[in-house]
Amino acid sequence: MVTYCTVADVSDFLRVPITATTTPNKAQVEKIILRKEEEMDRRIGHHFGGLIASNEEIHDLPLLYNYGWGSPIFLKHRQVADIDAAAGDKIEVWTGDSYSDNTAVDGIYLEGVLGTLSFRGYIYSIMRKSRIRVKYRYGDPTVPYDIQDCCIKLVSIDLINSSFKMDILPTGSNGVDISASKSDWRADIENCIDNRQEIFFIP
């Protein structure tokens, strides 16, 4: 399901009708929107408009301990939803020969806003390398306007680049310079991504 923008948004932006029978049609544009959403998520490092499943992450157990919480694991994303096995989330701990499912075990605490998992009872453990394996859901509930605008422009550029015939996307006769417009859109896109890009620390 498309999230960052709709076919109607793209149609309004380009001032061209997009329906089930036009060229391009509604289904084709929805596919492009989904691809561009994934590109934006990858480049920004975050998701908007609801929850999305993370890739499986493997973390070392650090030699750190926060009193009252335990040893912290810093997940790759923030705005993490409460861990729910029924939704596909999991927390596994390496036992020496396999990973043990600890999703429902007491002593593991999630601070979802920052994306931190804390484990009590592991401060004296000697097994630390690749000790924790986790999968979770994350994302902001709303889509900011600049993210919507960025996605609309990414989709529009893709549509114009694939419009090899003038009858696919009519450009009118008012002297609009399509190349200049695309250049301006790209600048807006890069500015949005630069402003929204998450910062990652590589250990």
Lowest mean pLDDT among 41-45, 75-79, 126-130, 170-174: 170-174
pTM: 0.86
Distance of CA 122 to the CA centre of its chain: 31
Q: Which amino acid is at 114?
A: L
Which residue do the tokens 């999703």 mark? Answer: 103
Q: Which amino acid is at 85?
A: A
Give the pLDDT mean for 113-117: 95
Q: How large a percentage of the chain has pLDDT more than 90?
A: 75
Give the pLDDT mean for 112-117: 96
Q: With CA atoms as reference, report the closest residue to 61 among 49, 73, 70.
A: 73
pLDDT above 50: residue 166? no
| Cα separation, 108 vs 86, whole angstroms | 17
Which residue do the tokens 């453990």 mark? Answer: 125
Q: How large a percentage of the chain has pLDDT more than 70?
A: 92
| Cα separation, 46 vs 3, whole angstroms | 13
